[in-house]
A and B are shown apart, each in its own frame.
Chain A
């Protein structure tokens, strides 16, 4: 085996594009989903800083179809901060997850990498990338997938797969099956050797030959013609499924947490997961206080250095406060994300909510999700215990996701929303630039 010291690695993070992210409204009305803050950092920051731990990382590419200018500032800032080259590559049209990788193969291969990581930006997990790389080297295939065991009930929302328990080879893969196949699912994090490009090319030349006979509904007919063209290649159905069982693809199982950030409610859940991860990896990032010089802090809380929080406030658990926010005296914050420039006035209560940029929360007002003040608690189907919480206790994947995903689970205030004094907002979504002077419950306020 040659020395792995000279072998470079390139990471590609798929960030998607504007028309894909309507589930992230109303927050995505103002900011591309990948830049939405989770645990105090833009969503895409988490996979990027995980990539930094890969030995011999040469370059990180963000691939998507947002406008370049939406990522320009972020990319140059993060390149400087983490001292690793990060570049945004814009797809002219959607190519599918594998097609996108293939489309930029020349750039990716410029550094002559021995391995290429492919990550999805909206995956929230511990990203055990160096361990995956090592396992992949041992397996000797063309690719290794990160997989995780989930509850059988929730597995059908994902790509289900079967792996050989001894060799870890990927034996079978199927995307969102209707009947139960397996409780192990695809996490959306992969490492490949450059042979993957050959595999993608072979698939797209096969598509040319295959005729598809099916009724095209009027909605499908409206899809851009590229969907049916040869350069739209999906990683799951077109690459993983056919290559399974041919000793080319392997799996690496993670026993840590894993979520997909598909909705604003899930971003609150993932913020909690990352904050608890900070507690283990970099506790100095989290806030602390006992009410004397600074506010009382309970559990995992992130407070941006420029935010001002009054010492009589009580913050946490699971709170993330962004730049220049102001939290007044006697405020109680539980399980929430407070974005930049928000002002929360005296004695207000915010729980299970996301408060958008520049919004203001009036005195004695109350912003919350469901009718009870306690954190959402659900029967847990997950088989992973997190932070010593036993399965069957608080907040786990499938049920929690159901509530977090339901439109009216977590309260979301868009940017520049003003909640007036003493108003109560329960389980509602408020679009930008609205003023609430009466209490609302279970509503979407356009």
Chain B
């Protein structure tokens, strides 16, 4: 089976992290974001993944060679020379997605994190026999998104309504599709929106069905949702493979610690913390609701909450980092410093307090 992952553009909402790495390679729960999706695809028998990108292919390709070898799955790139929207990239990658077997192919949005119930989706797709299946997820505020109006029993999609002013439903497009090769005949090679052009066509022909996504769903394209997404992800990990989580007297709630990370004495870690490879957490440190990326060091007695500490950064002794502080790569926060929502670009030193949210260039 084949799959296409829509990687798209510059990842500007995830800056400053994306100033150091392209978005699919930004770590989430100690793994590059895109690896979560590739692993899920591999698990249901996908043998080739095509990444639709339009930015920094060279950086991506190096990493991909690594994943290809480790996972034994073929990974190729399809590069857009101009932004092709959400459907155009499928047409661009046509030759890679059709292998003559007639099997449907997956399309995933790279910003999305979920439990990826792909096997169930394959069953659902076979059962209804329609041309296309999409995952939808229930949200509290549907008008922020595109709402999918569907028949509750069969899942047959009636229409899409973009950011509706009045309530029409509470299920939105979760960004996971399973499509028959015939769908590619309906997509022209030009910038196209899959929600505005392709899917409505298929829905009108009664060929589009929606499955409600079991489990959590999060678009982690921006820091606030990244942190919420980590909580949901770790929650789901506790239910499915609790052995992967760390336990101990100094651990509270769901915590994921890479085996090469070191944690000192007298710390209190958790809930909802991910500590990446090679990190050093010195003694007396309090971490909650945060991500510490590869190679970062948190010095003694520091306290970090609701924040993201970028690769190879340092948090000084007795420093207090909180309220959506995002440290880019190689940022060093001095001893005893307080940052409240500072967003710091890479290669900076923070020697004075950041009392209210601000961007440090």
* Interface, chain A (partner B; CB < 8 A): 18-19, 22-23, 25-26, 29, 217-219, 222, 407, 429, 431-434, 444, 446
**Distance in angstroms between the alpha carbons of A444 and B342 in the assembled complex:** 13
> Are B334 and A446 within 8 A (Cβ)?
no
6 tightest A-B CB contacts, nearest first? A446-B15, A444-B359, A433-B10, A25-B361, A219-B334, A218-B316
> Are A25 and B351 within 8 A (Cβ)?
no
**Distance in angstroms between the alpha carbons of A18 and B347 in the assembled complex:** 10
Other than the given A22-B345, A22-B347, 13 more pairs (CB < 8 A) read: A19-B347, A22-B361, A23-B361, A25-B361, A218-B316, A429-B361, A432-B10, A433-B9, A444-B361, A446-B13, A446-B16, A446-B343, A446-B359
**Distance in angstroms between the alpha carbons of A161 and B12 in the assembled complex:** 46
**Distance in angstroms between the alpha carbons of A429 and B16 in the assembled complex:** 14
> Are B343 and A219 within 8 A (Cβ)?
no
CB distance from A294 to the nearest CB of B (A): 33
A431 surroundings in chain B (CB, below 8 A): 12, 15
Residue from B314, B335, B345 with most neighbouring chain A CB atoms (10 Å): B345
B162 surroundings in chain A (CB, below 8 A): none
CB distance from A117 to the nearest CB of B (A): 31
**Would you call B332 an interface residue if the criterion is a C-beta within 8 Å of the partner chain's C-beta atoms?**
yes
**Would you call B251 an interface residue if the criterion is a C-beta within 8 Å of the partner chain's C-beta atoms?**
no
A19 surroundings in chain B (CB, below 8 A): 347
**Distance in angstroms between the alpha carbons of A434 and B61 in the assembled complex:** 25
**Distance in angstroms between the alpha carbons of A429 and B10 in the assembled complex:** 17
**Distance in angstroms between the alpha carbons of A369 and B299 in the assembled complex:** 41
> Are B299 and A29 within 8 A (Cβ)?
no
- Contact A22 to B348, CB < 8 A, known contacts A219-B316, A429-B361, A431-B15: yes
> Are B361 and A218 within 8 A (Cβ)?
no
**Would you call B305 an interface residue if the criterion is a C-beta within 8 Å of the partner chain's C-beta atoms?**
no
Who on chain B is nearest to A28 by CB?
A: B361
**Would you call B212 an interface residue if the criterion is a C-beta within 8 Å of the partner chain's C-beta atoms?**
no
CB distance from A327 to the nearest CB of B (A): 24
- Contact A219 to B332, CB < 8 A, known contacts A29-B19, A446-B15: yes
> Are B361 and A26 within 8 A (Cβ)?
yes
| Other-chain contact of A217, B15, B334, B343, B345 (Cβ < 8 Å) | B334
Who on chain A is nearest to B345 by CB?
A: A25
**Would you call B349 an interface residue if the criterion is a C-beta within 8 Å of the partner chain's C-beta atoms?**
yes
B351 surroundings in chain A (CB, below 8 A): 219
Who on chain B is nearest to A434 by CB?
A: B12
B317 surroundings in chain A (CB, below 8 A): 218
Residue from A22, A25, A429, A446 with most neighbouring chain B CB atoms (10 Å): A446
| Other-chain contact of B314, A25, A26, A222, A434 (Cβ < 8 Å) | A222
Q: Mark B1-35, 1 if CB is under 8 A from A, else 0.
A: 00000000110110110010000000000000000
A26 surroundings in chain B (CB, below 8 A): 361
A432 surroundings in chain B (CB, below 8 A): 10
CB distance from A214 to the nearest CB of B (A): 15
Who on chain A is nearest to B358 by CB?
A: A444
| Other-chain contact of B332, A29, A222, A433 (Cβ < 8 Å) | A222
A446 surroundings in chain B (CB, below 8 A): 12-13, 15-16, 343, 359
CB distance from A204 to the nearest CB of B (A): 26
**Distance in angstroms between the alpha carbons of A429 and B360 in the assembled complex:** 12
CB distance from A407 to the nearest CB of B (A): 7
B334 surroundings in chain A (CB, below 8 A): 217-219
**Distance in angstroms between the alpha carbons of A18 and B19 in the assembled complex:** 14
CB distance from A405 to the nearest CB of B (A): 12
B16 surroundings in chain A (CB, below 8 A): 446
Q: Mark B340-357, 1 if CB is under 8 A from A, else 0.
A: 000101011101000000
**Distance in angstroms between the alpha carbons of A214 and B257 in the assembled complex:** 37
CB distance from B339 to the nearest CB of A (A): 14
B335 surroundings in chain A (CB, below 8 A): 217-219
Q: Mark B143-172, 1 if CB is under 8 A from A, else 0.
A: 000000000000000000000000000000
> Are A433 and B12 within 8 A (Cβ)?
yes
Residue from B343, B348, B359, B361 with most neighbouring chain A CB atoms (10 Å): B361
CB distance from A343 to the nearest CB of B (A): 16
Who on chain B is nearest to A435 by CB?
A: B12
A219 surroundings in chain B (CB, below 8 A): 316, 332, 334-335, 349, 351
B299 surroundings in chain A (CB, below 8 A): 218
**Distance in angstroms between the alpha carbons of A102 and B251 in the assembled complex:** 54
Q: Can you report 30 A-B residue pairs in the complex whose CB atoms are below 8 A from each other?
A: A19-B347, A22-B347, A22-B348, A22-B361, A23-B361, A25-B361, A26-B361, A217-B316, A217-B335, A218-B316, A218-B317, A218-B334, A218-B335, A219-B316, A219-B332, A219-B334, A219-B335, A219-B349, A219-B351, A222-B314, A222-B332, A407-B361, A429-B361, A432-B10, A433-B9, A433-B10, A444-B361, A446-B13, A446-B343, A446-B359
Who on chain A is nearest to B337 by CB?
A: A219
CB distance from B356 to the nearest CB of A (A): 14
B347 surroundings in chain A (CB, below 8 A): 18-19, 22
- Contact A218 to B345, CB < 8 A, known contacts A22-B361, A433-B9, A444-B359: no
CB distance from B333 to the nearest CB of A (A): 8
Who on chain B is nearest to A222 by CB?
A: B332
CB distance from A166 to the nearest CB of B (A): 43
**Distance in angstroms between the alpha carbons of A434 and B349 in the assembled complex:** 26
B343 surroundings in chain A (CB, below 8 A): 446
B361 surroundings in chain A (CB, below 8 A): 22-23, 25-26, 407, 429, 444
Residues 205 to 258 of chain B near chain A (Cβ within 8 Å): none
